[in-house]
Chains A and B, each alone.
Chain A
Protein backbone atom coordinates (compact mmCIF):
# COMPACT_ATOMS: atom_id res chain seq x y z
CA UNK A 1 0.00 0.00 0.00
CA UNK A 2 2.97 2.34 0.34
CA UNK A 3 5.30 3.19 -2.51
CA UNK A 4 8.59 1.57 -1.65
CA UNK A 5 11.74 2.93 -3.24
CA UNK A 6 14.49 0.38 -2.90
CA UNK A 7 16.66 0.39 0.16
CA UNK A 8 19.78 -1.70 0.38
CA UNK A 9 18.84 -5.19 1.57
CA UNK A 10 15.48 -4.01 2.87
CA UNK A 11 17.08 -2.09 5.71
CA UNK A 12 15.03 0.70 7.23
CA UNK A 13 15.87 4.12 5.86
CA UNK A 14 16.20 5.57 9.34
CA UNK A 15 17.10 3.53 12.39
CA UNK A 16 17.32 4.72 15.97
CA UNK A 17 18.99 2.11 18.12
CA UNK A 18 18.84 2.41 21.91
CA UNK A 19 18.92 6.20 21.66
CA UNK A 20 18.90 8.37 24.74
CA UNK A 21 19.22 12.12 24.95
CA UNK A 22 19.76 13.71 28.31
CA UNK A 23 19.91 17.48 28.60
CA UNK A 24 22.21 18.52 31.43
CA UNK A 25 20.79 20.52 34.29
CA UNK A 26 20.56 24.23 33.55
CA UNK A 27 21.62 25.24 37.02
CA UNK A 28 23.40 23.49 39.87
CA UNK A 29 20.10 22.91 41.66
CA UNK A 30 18.21 21.82 38.58
CA UNK A 31 17.81 18.24 37.44
CA UNK A 32 18.94 16.80 34.13
CA UNK A 33 16.11 16.22 31.68
CA UNK A 34 15.83 12.91 29.89
CA UNK A 35 14.19 13.83 26.60
CA UNK A 36 14.65 10.43 25.02
CA UNK A 37 14.92 7.26 27.05
CA UNK A 38 16.36 4.23 25.23
CA UNK A 39 14.32 4.59 22.07
CA UNK A 40 14.39 2.02 19.28
CA UNK A 41 12.58 3.05 16.12
CA UNK A 42 12.79 2.16 12.45
CA UNK A 43 11.40 4.27 9.64
CA UNK A 44 10.75 2.36 6.43
CA UNK A 45 11.62 3.77 3.06
CA UNK A 46 8.61 5.38 1.41
CA UNK A 47 6.36 5.47 4.44
CA UNK A 48 4.84 8.33 6.40
CA UNK A 49 5.56 7.74 10.06
CA UNK A 50 3.52 9.86 12.44
CA UNK A 51 4.97 10.54 15.87
CA UNK A 52 2.45 11.78 18.42
CA UNK A 53 2.86 12.84 22.01
CA UNK A 54 2.23 15.75 24.33
CA UNK A 55 4.69 18.64 24.51
CA UNK A 56 7.80 17.47 26.26
CA UNK A 57 7.32 13.85 25.24
CA UNK A 58 10.53 14.01 23.21
CA UNK A 59 9.10 14.23 19.69
CA UNK A 60 11.10 17.27 18.59
CA UNK A 61 14.30 15.91 20.06
CA UNK A 62 13.76 12.67 18.19
CA UNK A 63 13.25 14.50 14.90
CA UNK A 64 16.38 16.60 15.35
CA UNK A 65 18.51 13.53 15.87
CA UNK A 66 17.68 12.32 12.36
CA UNK A 67 19.45 15.24 10.65
CA UNK A 68 21.87 15.56 13.55
CA UNK A 69 20.85 19.06 14.54
CA UNK A 70 21.17 17.40 17.92
CA UNK A 71 23.21 14.38 18.97
CA UNK A 72 22.21 11.49 21.20
CA UNK A 73 23.78 11.06 24.60
CA UNK A 74 23.97 7.35 23.86
CA UNK A 75 22.85 5.02 21.12
CA UNK A 76 23.11 5.41 17.37
CA UNK A 77 21.08 7.07 14.62
CA UNK A 78 21.54 5.62 11.13
CA UNK A 79 20.18 7.25 7.97
CA UNK A 80 20.45 5.38 4.67
CA UNK A 81 23.21 3.25 6.09
CA UNK A 82 25.31 6.11 7.49
CA UNK A 83 25.62 6.60 11.20
CA UNK A 84 24.83 10.30 11.45
CA UNK A 85 25.19 10.46 15.21
CA UNK A 86 28.98 10.24 14.92
CA UNK A 87 29.60 12.18 11.70
CA UNK A 88 31.61 15.39 11.71
CA UNK A 89 29.80 18.68 11.12
CA UNK A 90 31.37 18.86 7.65
CA UNK A 91 30.28 15.37 6.64
CA UNK A 92 26.80 16.14 7.93
CA UNK A 93 26.33 18.96 5.43
CA UNK A 94 26.15 16.41 2.65
CA UNK A 95 23.80 14.12 4.59
CA UNK A 96 21.49 17.02 5.38
CA UNK A 97 20.98 17.76 1.69
CA UNK A 98 19.24 14.41 1.52
CA UNK A 99 16.92 15.34 4.41
CA UNK A 100 14.45 18.19 4.02
CA UNK A 101 12.84 19.78 7.05
CA UNK A 102 9.72 21.87 7.60
CA UNK A 103 8.69 23.65 10.77
CA UNK A 104 5.67 24.72 12.77
CA UNK A 105 6.62 28.40 12.45
CA UNK A 106 7.79 27.88 8.83
CA UNK A 107 11.20 29.48 9.56
CA UNK A 108 11.36 31.20 6.20
CA UNK A 109 14.03 33.83 5.59
CA UNK A 110 12.24 37.16 5.76
CA UNK A 111 15.24 38.84 4.15
CA UNK A 112 14.59 36.91 0.94
CA UNK A 113 11.73 36.55 -1.49
CA UNK A 114 9.91 33.26 -2.05
CA UNK A 115 12.31 32.64 -4.92
CA UNK A 116 15.31 33.47 -2.72
CA UNK A 117 14.14 31.11 -0.01
CA UNK A 118 13.94 28.19 -2.41
CA UNK A 119 17.23 29.14 -4.08
CA UNK A 120 19.07 29.06 -0.76
CA UNK A 121 19.39 25.27 -0.36
CA UNK A 122 20.37 25.03 -4.03
CA UNK A 123 23.18 27.51 -3.48
CA UNK A 124 24.26 25.69 -0.34
CA UNK A 125 24.32 22.42 -2.26
CA UNK A 126 26.45 23.99 -4.98
CA UNK A 127 23.86 23.70 -7.74
CA UNK A 128 25.00 26.02 -10.56
CA UNK A 129 22.98 29.22 -10.81
CA UNK A 130 21.78 28.55 -14.36
CA UNK A 131 19.99 25.42 -13.14
CA UNK A 132 18.15 27.29 -10.35
CA UNK A 133 15.49 28.79 -12.57
CA UNK A 134 14.13 25.51 -13.87
CA UNK A 135 14.22 23.77 -10.49
CA UNK A 136 12.60 26.64 -8.60
CA UNK A 137 9.76 27.08 -11.08
CA UNK A 138 9.20 23.32 -11.04
CA UNK A 139 8.93 23.43 -7.23
CA UNK A 140 6.68 26.48 -7.25
CA UNK A 141 4.32 24.74 -9.63
CA UNK A 142 4.36 21.60 -7.50
CA UNK A 143 3.28 23.53 -4.41
CA UNK A 144 0.89 25.75 -6.39
CA UNK A 145 2.60 29.09 -5.82
CA UNK A 146 3.93 29.89 -9.28
CA UNK A 147 2.42 33.37 -9.07
CA UNK A 148 4.15 34.19 -5.78
CA UNK A 149 7.76 33.71 -6.88
CA UNK A 150 8.75 37.29 -6.21
CA UNK A 151 6.54 37.95 -3.22
CA UNK A 152 8.11 38.70 0.12
CA UNK A 153 7.51 36.29 2.97
CA UNK A 154 5.45 38.71 5.04
CA UNK A 155 2.97 39.07 2.16
CA UNK A 156 2.01 35.38 2.36
CA UNK A 157 -0.70 33.66 4.39
CA UNK A 158 0.24 30.90 6.83
CA UNK A 159 -0.67 28.14 4.41
CA UNK A 160 1.32 29.77 1.62
CA UNK A 161 4.30 30.11 3.94
CA UNK A 162 4.21 26.43 4.74
CA UNK A 163 3.99 25.58 1.05
CA UNK A 164 7.09 27.69 0.44
CA UNK A 165 8.69 25.81 3.34
CA UNK A 166 7.84 22.54 1.64
CA UNK A 167 9.21 23.73 -1.72
CA UNK A 168 12.39 24.86 -0.01
CA UNK A 169 12.74 21.54 1.81
CA UNK A 170 12.32 19.63 -1.45
CA UNK A 171 14.72 21.78 -3.50
CA UNK A 172 17.69 19.44 -3.24
CA UNK A 173 15.57 16.37 -4.03
CA UNK A 174 15.83 14.73 -0.62
CA UNK A 175 14.77 11.16 0.17
CA UNK A 176 13.48 12.13 3.60
CA UNK A 177 11.26 14.96 4.81
CA UNK A 178 11.15 15.80 8.50
CA UNK A 179 7.95 17.62 9.41
CA UNK A 180 7.90 19.32 12.81
CA UNK A 181 4.25 20.11 13.65
CA UNK A 182 3.75 21.39 10.10
CA UNK A 183 0.09 22.34 10.50
CA UNK A 184 -0.11 23.36 14.16
CA UNK A 185 0.00 27.06 13.32
CA UNK A 186 -2.65 26.78 10.59
CA UNK A 187 -6.45 26.94 10.54
CA UNK A 188 -8.41 23.76 9.72
CA UNK A 189 -9.02 24.67 6.08
CA UNK A 190 -5.36 25.43 5.40
CA UNK A 191 -4.32 22.38 7.39
CA UNK A 192 -6.23 20.22 4.93
CA UNK A 193 -4.46 21.82 1.96
CA UNK A 194 -1.02 21.38 3.47
CA UNK A 195 -1.78 17.76 4.38
CA UNK A 196 -2.93 17.08 0.83
CA UNK A 197 0.33 18.54 -0.45
CA UNK A 198 2.37 16.42 1.96
CA UNK A 199 0.47 13.35 0.76
CA UNK A 200 1.51 14.17 -2.79
CA UNK A 201 5.11 14.59 -1.63
CA UNK A 202 4.95 11.05 -0.30
CA UNK A 203 2.93 9.40 -3.05
CA UNK A 204 4.17 11.19 -6.17
CA UNK A 205 7.77 11.79 -5.18
CA UNK A 206 8.20 8.71 -3.01
CA UNK A 207 9.70 10.77 -0.20
CA UNK A 208 9.75 9.22 3.25
CA UNK A 209 8.13 11.52 5.79
CA UNK A 210 8.58 11.60 9.54
CA UNK A 211 5.77 13.76 10.86
CA UNK A 212 5.46 14.88 14.43
CA UNK A 213 2.23 16.30 15.71
CA UNK A 214 0.04 16.51 18.74
CA UNK A 215 -3.05 16.53 16.54
CA UNK A 216 -4.42 13.05 15.96
CA UNK A 217 -6.43 14.18 12.95
CA UNK A 218 -3.23 15.15 11.13
CA UNK A 219 -1.61 11.82 11.87
CA UNK A 220 -4.71 9.87 10.93
CA UNK A 221 -5.02 11.47 7.53
CA UNK A 222 -1.37 11.21 6.57
CA UNK A 223 0.55 8.55 8.46
CA UNK A 224 0.87 4.91 7.45
CA UNK A 225 2.24 4.05 10.85
CA UNK A 226 2.04 5.82 14.18
CA UNK A 227 4.52 5.96 17.04
CA UNK A 228 3.14 7.26 20.31
CA UNK A 229 5.59 8.88 22.68
CA UNK A 230 5.32 9.52 26.38
CA UNK A 231 8.06 10.72 28.73
CA UNK A 232 10.84 10.07 26.25
CA UNK A 233 9.75 6.57 25.27
CA UNK A 234 7.92 5.12 22.31
CA UNK A 235 5.03 3.44 24.11
CA UNK A 236 3.15 2.21 21.08
CA UNK A 237 3.97 1.67 17.43
CA UNK A 238 1.69 0.24 14.81
CA UNK A 239 -0.25 0.70 11.60
CA UNK A 240 -2.38 3.81 11.81
CA UNK A 241 -5.58 1.80 11.42
CA UNK A 242 -4.73 -0.53 14.29
CA UNK A 243 -3.66 2.29 16.55
CA UNK A 244 -6.93 4.14 15.99
CA UNK A 245 -9.21 1.13 15.99
CA UNK A 246 -7.61 -0.59 18.95
CA UNK A 247 -5.23 1.59 20.95
CA UNK A 248 -3.30 -0.47 23.50
CA UNK A 249 -1.40 1.95 25.72
CA UNK A 250 -3.25 4.40 27.99
CA UNK A 251 -1.44 7.33 26.39
CA UNK A 252 -2.56 6.19 22.97
CA UNK A 253 -6.10 5.74 24.21
CA UNK A 254 -6.13 9.30 25.48
CA UNK A 255 -4.91 10.58 22.14
CA UNK A 256 -7.34 8.49 20.13
CA UNK A 257 -10.22 9.56 22.36
CA UNK A 258 -9.65 13.17 21.26
CA UNK A 259 -10.87 12.03 17.86
CA UNK A 260 -12.90 8.90 18.44
CA UNK A 261 -14.89 8.33 21.58
CA UNK A 262 -15.10 4.73 22.64
CA UNK A 263 -18.45 5.30 24.31
CA UNK A 264 -20.44 8.19 25.78
CA UNK A 265 -18.58 10.21 28.37
CA UNK A 266 -19.90 9.82 31.95
CA UNK A 267 -22.25 12.83 32.01
CA UNK A 268 -23.77 12.01 28.65
CA UNK A 269 -24.09 8.40 29.79
CA UNK A 270 -26.09 9.50 32.85
CA UNK A 271 -28.55 11.37 30.65
CA UNK A 272 -28.78 8.45 28.26
CA UNK A 273 -29.55 6.04 31.09
CA UNK A 274 -32.45 8.22 32.22
CA UNK A 275 -33.97 8.11 28.79
CA UNK A 276 -33.16 4.50 27.94
CA UNK A 277 -34.00 2.01 30.66
CA UNK A 278 -32.57 -1.06 28.89
CA UNK A 279 -29.14 -2.60 29.04
CA UNK A 280 -26.45 -0.53 27.40
CA UNK A 281 -23.57 -2.05 25.46
CA UNK A 282 -20.81 -0.57 23.31
CA UNK A 283 -19.85 -2.64 20.29
CA UNK A 284 -16.53 -2.04 18.58
CA UNK A 285 -16.55 -2.87 14.90
CA UNK A 286 -13.45 -3.41 12.82
CA UNK A 287 -12.67 -3.78 9.21
CA UNK A 288 -12.79 -7.43 8.18
CA UNK A 289 -14.83 -8.56 11.19
CA UNK A 290 -18.62 -8.69 11.60
CA UNK A 291 -20.51 -5.65 10.32
CA UNK A 292 -23.32 -3.80 12.11
CA UNK A 293 -25.80 -5.63 9.81
CA UNK A 294 -24.70 -9.00 11.24
CA UNK A 295 -25.26 -7.71 14.75
CA UNK A 296 -28.67 -6.25 13.94
CA UNK A 297 -29.70 -9.60 12.51
CA UNK A 298 -28.65 -11.33 15.72
CA UNK A 299 -30.70 -8.90 17.84
CA UNK A 300 -33.78 -9.24 15.66
CA UNK A 301 -33.52 -13.04 15.62
CA UNK A 302 -33.71 -13.06 19.43
CA UNK A 303 -36.50 -10.52 19.68
CA UNK A 304 -34.31 -7.87 21.22
CA UNK A 305 -35.19 -4.25 20.49
CA UNK A 306 -32.17 -2.05 19.98
CA UNK A 307 -31.65 1.61 19.66
CA UNK A 308 -28.44 3.32 18.63
CA UNK A 309 -27.77 5.97 21.28
CA UNK A 310 -24.15 6.96 20.67
CA UNK A 311 -21.19 6.53 18.36
CA UNK A 312 -20.16 6.59 14.76
CA UNK A 313 -18.04 4.99 12.09
CA UNK A 314 -14.54 6.23 11.35
CA UNK A 315 -12.39 5.91 8.29
CA UNK A 316 -8.62 5.46 8.23
CA UNK A 317 -7.13 5.25 4.75
CA UNK A 318 -10.30 3.65 3.42
CA UNK A 319 -10.67 1.10 6.21
CA UNK A 320 -13.49 1.62 8.67
CA UNK A 321 -13.99 1.03 12.36
CA UNK A 322 -16.47 2.34 14.86
CA UNK A 323 -17.76 2.20 18.39
CA UNK A 324 -21.55 2.06 18.56
CA UNK A 325 -23.46 2.16 21.82
CA UNK A 326 -26.90 0.51 21.86
CA UNK A 327 -29.69 0.47 24.40
CA UNK A 328 -31.20 -3.04 24.36
CA UNK A 329 -34.67 -3.85 25.63
CA UNK A 330 -36.64 -7.06 25.73
CA UNK A 331 -36.71 -10.28 27.73
CA UNK A 332 -33.59 -10.18 29.99
CA UNK A 333 -32.64 -13.74 29.06
CA UNK A 334 -32.92 -12.93 25.35
CA UNK A 335 -30.84 -9.78 25.85
CA UNK A 336 -28.17 -11.73 27.73
CA UNK A 337 -28.15 -14.41 25.04
CA UNK A 338 -27.90 -11.80 22.28
CA UNK A 339 -25.03 -10.01 24.01
CA UNK A 340 -23.06 -13.18 24.56
CA UNK A 341 -23.59 -14.21 20.94
CA UNK A 342 -22.61 -10.77 19.63
CA UNK A 343 -19.47 -10.93 21.77
CA UNK A 344 -18.27 -13.75 19.51
CA UNK A 345 -18.57 -11.41 16.52
CA UNK A 346 -17.26 -8.08 17.79
CA UNK A 347 -15.74 -6.61 20.92
CA UNK A 348 -18.40 -5.80 23.52
CA UNK A 349 -17.94 -3.52 26.49
CA UNK A 350 -20.19 -1.88 29.01
CA UNK A 351 -20.14 1.93 28.64
CA UNK A 352 -18.98 3.86 31.64
CA UNK A 353 -16.55 1.25 32.88
CA UNK A 354 -12.99 2.37 33.07
CA UNK A 355 -11.58 -0.80 31.64
CA UNK A 356 -13.46 -0.59 28.36
CA UNK A 357 -11.04 -0.16 25.53
CA UNK A 358 -7.98 -2.15 26.45
CA UNK A 359 -9.44 -5.55 27.31
CA UNK A 360 -10.04 -6.75 23.90
CA UNK A 361 -10.93 -10.13 22.57
CA UNK A 362 -9.62 -9.98 19.07
CA UNK A 363 -5.96 -9.88 18.19
CA UNK A 364 -4.69 -7.08 16.03
Chain B
Protein backbone atom coordinates (compact mmCIF):
# COMPACT_ATOMS: atom_id res chain seq x y z
CA UNK B 1 0.00 0.00 0.00
CA UNK B 2 2.84 2.35 0.85
CA UNK B 3 4.47 1.48 -2.45
CA UNK B 4 1.30 2.49 -4.29
CA UNK B 5 1.30 5.87 -2.57
CA UNK B 6 4.91 6.39 -3.62
CA UNK B 7 3.94 5.66 -7.20
CA UNK B 8 0.98 7.99 -7.07
CA UNK B 9 2.02 10.35 -9.88
CA UNK B 10 3.24 7.49 -12.14
CA UNK B 11 -0.07 5.71 -11.59
CA UNK B 12 -2.16 8.63 -12.76
CA UNK B 13 0.23 9.25 -15.63
CA UNK B 14 -0.32 5.62 -16.68
CA UNK B 15 -4.09 6.07 -16.42
CA UNK B 16 -3.93 9.16 -18.63
CA UNK B 17 -1.77 7.28 -21.14
CA UNK B 18 -4.23 4.41 -21.32
CA UNK B 19 -7.09 6.84 -21.88
CA UNK B 20 -5.10 8.60 -24.62
CA UNK B 21 -4.11 5.38 -26.40
CA UNK B 22 -7.64 3.99 -26.22
CA UNK B 23 -9.24 7.23 -27.41
CA UNK B 24 -6.84 7.62 -30.33
CA UNK B 25 -7.31 3.99 -31.33
CA UNK B 26 -11.07 4.17 -31.08
CA UNK B 27 -11.05 7.19 -33.36
CA UNK B 28 -8.55 5.95 -35.97
CA UNK B 29 -9.45 2.27 -35.83
CA UNK B 30 -13.12 3.21 -35.61
CA UNK B 31 -12.96 5.16 -38.84
CA UNK B 32 -10.86 2.47 -40.54
CA UNK B 33 -13.26 -0.23 -39.36
CA UNK B 34 -16.27 1.77 -40.49
CA UNK B 35 -14.88 2.24 -43.99
CA UNK B 36 -13.83 -1.42 -44.29
CA UNK B 37 -17.11 -2.68 -42.84
CA UNK B 38 -19.23 -0.50 -45.12
CA UNK B 39 -17.20 -1.68 -48.13
CA UNK B 40 -17.58 -5.32 -47.06
CA UNK B 41 -21.34 -4.83 -46.81
CA UNK B 42 -22.00 -2.78 -49.92
CA UNK B 43 -19.80 -4.83 -52.27
CA UNK B 44 -21.28 -8.17 -51.26
CA UNK B 45 -23.50 -9.93 -53.82
CA UNK B 46 -26.92 -8.30 -53.48
CA UNK B 47 -25.43 -5.23 -51.76
CA UNK B 48 -26.02 -1.76 -53.10
CA UNK B 49 -22.71 -1.70 -55.01
CA UNK B 50 -21.90 -5.36 -55.65
CA UNK B 51 -18.30 -5.90 -56.70
CA UNK B 52 -17.00 -9.42 -56.53
CA UNK B 53 -13.30 -8.62 -56.81
CA UNK B 54 -13.28 -5.91 -54.14
CA UNK B 55 -15.38 -8.07 -51.84
CA UNK B 56 -13.19 -11.16 -52.15
CA UNK B 57 -9.94 -9.20 -51.70
CA UNK B 58 -11.26 -7.32 -48.65
CA UNK B 59 -12.47 -10.54 -47.11
CA UNK B 60 -9.07 -12.15 -47.59
CA UNK B 61 -7.22 -9.17 -46.12
CA UNK B 62 -9.48 -8.97 -43.09
CA UNK B 63 -9.30 -12.71 -42.51
CA UNK B 64 -5.51 -12.59 -42.85
CA UNK B 65 -4.99 -9.98 -40.13
CA UNK B 66 -7.75 -10.80 -37.69
CA UNK B 67 -6.41 -14.06 -36.24
CA UNK B 68 -2.93 -12.66 -35.46
CA UNK B 69 -2.58 -12.37 -31.67
CA UNK B 70 -2.03 -8.71 -30.86
CA UNK B 71 1.12 -9.27 -28.81
CA UNK B 72 2.72 -10.79 -31.93
CA UNK B 73 1.15 -8.31 -34.34
CA UNK B 74 2.62 -5.39 -32.42
CA UNK B 75 6.12 -6.77 -33.01
CA UNK B 76 5.46 -7.74 -36.60
CA UNK B 77 4.04 -4.30 -37.34
CA UNK B 78 7.18 -2.48 -36.13
CA UNK B 79 8.68 -1.88 -39.60
CA UNK B 80 5.36 -0.51 -40.82
CA UNK B 81 5.09 1.69 -37.72
CA UNK B 82 8.57 3.15 -38.41
CA UNK B 83 7.42 3.91 -41.95
CA UNK B 84 4.17 5.57 -40.96
CA UNK B 85 4.73 7.24 -37.58
CA UNK B 86 8.53 7.41 -37.70
CA UNK B 87 9.18 5.13 -34.73
CA UNK B 88 8.79 1.47 -33.86
CA UNK B 89 8.53 2.00 -30.12
CA UNK B 90 6.50 3.98 -27.61
CA UNK B 91 2.95 5.17 -27.65
CA UNK B 92 2.83 6.35 -31.30
CA UNK B 93 3.84 2.85 -32.47
CA UNK B 94 1.30 1.29 -30.12
CA UNK B 95 -1.48 3.55 -31.38
CA UNK B 96 -0.55 2.70 -34.96
CA UNK B 97 -0.55 -1.08 -34.38
CA UNK B 98 -3.73 -0.92 -32.30
CA UNK B 99 -5.54 1.16 -34.91
CA UNK B 100 -4.66 -1.25 -37.70
CA UNK B 101 -5.68 -4.30 -35.68
CA UNK B 102 -8.85 -2.57 -34.43
CA UNK B 103 -9.82 -1.59 -37.99
CA UNK B 104 -9.96 -5.21 -39.05
CA UNK B 105 -11.80 -6.28 -35.92
CA UNK B 106 -14.30 -3.43 -36.08
CA UNK B 107 -14.89 -3.98 -39.82
CA UNK B 108 -16.56 -7.31 -39.00
CA UNK B 109 -18.65 -5.77 -36.24
CA UNK B 110 -19.81 -3.02 -38.62
CA UNK B 111 -20.52 -5.51 -41.39
CA UNK B 112 -22.62 -7.70 -39.07
CA UNK B 113 -24.69 -4.77 -37.87
CA UNK B 114 -25.30 -3.46 -41.37
CA UNK B 115 -26.63 -6.86 -42.45
CA UNK B 116 -29.50 -6.36 -40.04
CA UNK B 117 -30.74 -3.31 -41.99
CA UNK B 118 -33.74 -4.21 -44.13
CA UNK B 119 -32.66 -4.14 -47.81
CA UNK B 120 -36.12 -2.81 -48.64
CA UNK B 121 -35.28 0.46 -46.90
CA UNK B 122 -32.19 0.84 -49.07
CA UNK B 123 -34.28 0.05 -52.13
CA UNK B 124 -36.76 2.74 -51.11
CA UNK B 125 -33.94 5.26 -50.87
CA UNK B 126 -32.60 4.32 -54.30
CA UNK B 127 -36.12 4.50 -55.72
CA UNK B 128 -36.32 8.11 -54.50
CA UNK B 129 -33.29 8.96 -56.59
CA UNK B 130 -30.62 8.82 -53.88
CA UNK B 131 -27.22 7.64 -55.10
CA UNK B 132 -25.24 4.86 -53.46
CA UNK B 133 -23.03 7.12 -51.37
CA UNK B 134 -25.98 9.15 -50.11
CA UNK B 135 -27.95 5.98 -49.38
CA UNK B 136 -25.01 4.62 -47.39
CA UNK B 137 -24.45 7.78 -45.37
CA UNK B 138 -28.03 8.93 -44.80
CA UNK B 139 -29.95 5.65 -44.64
CA UNK B 140 -27.75 2.58 -44.15
CA UNK B 141 -25.65 3.94 -41.26
CA UNK B 142 -28.46 5.82 -39.42
CA UNK B 143 -30.72 2.75 -39.63
CA UNK B 144 -28.02 0.64 -37.96
CA UNK B 145 -26.92 3.32 -35.48
CA UNK B 146 -28.15 1.66 -32.26
CA UNK B 147 -26.45 -1.70 -32.88
CA UNK B 148 -23.37 0.09 -34.21
CA UNK B 149 -22.99 2.01 -30.95
CA UNK B 150 -23.19 -1.27 -29.03
CA UNK B 151 -20.66 -2.80 -31.43
CA UNK B 152 -18.26 0.08 -30.88
CA UNK B 153 -18.67 -0.24 -27.12
CA UNK B 154 -17.69 -3.88 -27.46
CA UNK B 155 -14.71 -2.82 -29.58
CA UNK B 156 -13.71 -0.21 -26.99
CA UNK B 157 -13.46 -2.87 -24.28
CA UNK B 158 -11.37 -5.03 -26.62
CA UNK B 159 -9.06 -2.08 -27.31
CA UNK B 160 -8.54 -1.52 -23.57
CA UNK B 161 -7.61 -5.20 -23.36
CA UNK B 162 -5.18 -5.01 -26.30
CA UNK B 163 -3.61 -1.75 -25.08
CA UNK B 164 -2.35 -3.53 -21.97
CA UNK B 165 0.47 -5.15 -23.92
CA UNK B 166 1.88 -1.76 -24.95
CA UNK B 167 4.84 -2.39 -22.68
CA UNK B 168 6.19 -4.92 -25.17
CA UNK B 169 7.38 -2.10 -27.44
CA UNK B 170 8.02 0.45 -24.74
CA UNK B 171 4.59 1.98 -24.63
CA UNK B 172 3.00 3.21 -21.43
CA UNK B 173 -0.38 2.89 -19.82
CA UNK B 174 -1.89 0.87 -17.00
CA UNK B 175 -0.93 -2.51 -18.45
CA UNK B 176 2.73 -1.74 -18.62
CA UNK B 177 2.53 0.01 -15.21
CA UNK B 178 1.00 -3.07 -13.61
CA UNK B 179 3.63 -5.38 -15.10
CA UNK B 180 6.61 -3.14 -14.32
CA UNK B 181 5.78 -1.92 -10.83
CA UNK B 182 3.39 -4.59 -9.67
CA UNK B 183 4.22 -8.00 -11.11
CA UNK B 184 8.00 -7.64 -11.48
CA UNK B 185 8.44 -5.98 -8.08
CA UNK B 186 6.19 -8.42 -6.19
CA UNK B 187 3.63 -5.70 -5.33
CA UNK B 188 0.20 -7.26 -5.77
CA UNK B 189 -1.49 -4.13 -4.38
CA UNK B 190 -0.04 -2.10 -7.27
CA UNK B 191 -1.19 -4.70 -9.81
CA UNK B 192 -4.65 -4.72 -8.34
CA UNK B 193 -4.89 -0.96 -8.28
CA UNK B 194 -4.29 -0.95 -12.06
CA UNK B 195 -6.82 -3.73 -12.50
CA UNK B 196 -9.46 -1.79 -10.55
CA UNK B 197 -8.97 1.34 -12.61
CA UNK B 198 -9.26 -0.67 -15.86
CA UNK B 199 -12.43 -2.35 -14.59
CA UNK B 200 -13.87 1.03 -13.65
CA UNK B 201 -13.03 2.47 -17.07
CA UNK B 202 -14.72 -0.44 -18.82
CA UNK B 203 -17.80 -0.14 -16.62
CA UNK B 204 -18.17 3.54 -17.39
CA UNK B 205 -17.65 2.93 -21.11
CA UNK B 206 -20.20 0.12 -21.20
CA UNK B 207 -22.76 2.17 -19.29
CA UNK B 208 -22.31 5.14 -21.60
CA UNK B 209 -22.49 2.89 -24.67
CA UNK B 210 -25.73 1.30 -23.49
CA UNK B 211 -27.28 4.71 -22.84
CA UNK B 212 -26.22 6.03 -26.24
CA UNK B 213 -27.49 2.94 -28.03
CA UNK B 214 -30.83 3.17 -26.26
CA UNK B 215 -31.13 6.82 -27.25
CA UNK B 216 -30.33 5.91 -30.86
CA UNK B 217 -32.94 3.14 -30.88
CA UNK B 218 -35.45 5.18 -28.84
CA UNK B 219 -36.43 2.24 -26.68
Contact = CB atoms under 8 A, between A and B. Distances in A.
A111 B127 contact: no
Contact of B143 (A67, A97, A111, A168): A111
A206 to B, nearest CB: 21
Chief secondary structure at chain B's binding surface: helix
B129 interface: yes
A91 B118 CA distance: 26
A69 B128 contact: no
A90 B131 contact: yes
A121 B123 contact: no
Interface stretch (A99-107, A225-233, A264-272, A275-283): A99-107
Task: Find the residue from A69, A96, A124 having the highest chain B CB count within 10 A.
Answer: A124
A168 B139 CA distance: 15
A112 B118 CA distance: 15
A109 interface: yes
Interface in B125-177: 125-132, 134, 138-139, 142-143, 145
Contacts of B218: 152, 154
B121 interface: yes
Contacts of A107: 118, 120-121, 123-124
Contacts of A97: 128-129
A69 B123 contact: yes
B130 A109 contact: no
A109 B127 contact: no
A125 interface: yes
Interface in A187-203: none
A111 B218 CA distance: 9
Nearest to B127: A101
Contacts of A96: 126-129
Nearest to A122: B128
A120 B127 contact: no
Contacts of B123: 69, 103, 107
Contacts of A103: 120, 123-124
B127 A69 contact: yes
Contacts of A120: 125, 128, 130, 138
Given A67-B127, A109-B121, A124 B134 contact: yes
Interface string B51-78: 0000000000000000000000000000
A112 B124 CA distance: 14
Nearest to A102: B124
Contacts of A94: 129
Given A105-B118, A124-B134, A152-B218, A110 B128 contact: no
A287 interface: no
Interface string A74-114: 00000000000000011011111101110101011111100
The interface size bin for chain B is: 20 to 34
Task: Find the residue from A67, A95, A101, A107 having the highest chain B CB count within 10 A.
Answer: A107
Interface in B94-135: 118, 120-121, 123-132, 134
B124 A101 contact: yes
Given A90-B131, A111-B145, A152-B218, A69 B121 contact: no
Contacts of B129: 92-97, 121, 124-125, 172
Contacts of A105: 118, 120
Nearest to A125: B129
A317 B165 CA distance: 77
A140 B139 CA distance: 22
Nearest to B45: A26
Contact of B142 (A109, A125, A152): A109
B143 A109 contact: yes
A110 B125 CA distance: 13
Nearest to B144: A111
A107 B134 CA distance: 17
Contacts of B120: 103, 105, 107
B160 to A, nearest CB: 29
Given A110-B143, A111-B142, A121 B121 contact: no
A170 B125 CA distance: 14
Contacts of B125: 109, 120, 124
A109 B131 contact: no
Nearest to A154: B218
Contacts of B127: 67, 69, 96, 99-101, 178
A305 B118 CA distance: 63
A67 B3 CA distance: 73
A280 B129 CA distance: 59
Nearest to A90: B131
A124 B124 contact: no
Contacts of B142: 109, 111-112
Closest 3 CB pairs of A and B: A111-B142, A107-B124, A96-B129
7 contacts: A96-B127, A96-B128, A99-B127, A109-B124, A109-B125, A120-B125, A120-B138
Given A69-B126, A120-B130, 10 more contacts: A69-B127, A93-B129, A93-B130, A93-B131, A101-B124, A105-B118, A110-B121, A112-B142, A124-B125, A172-B129
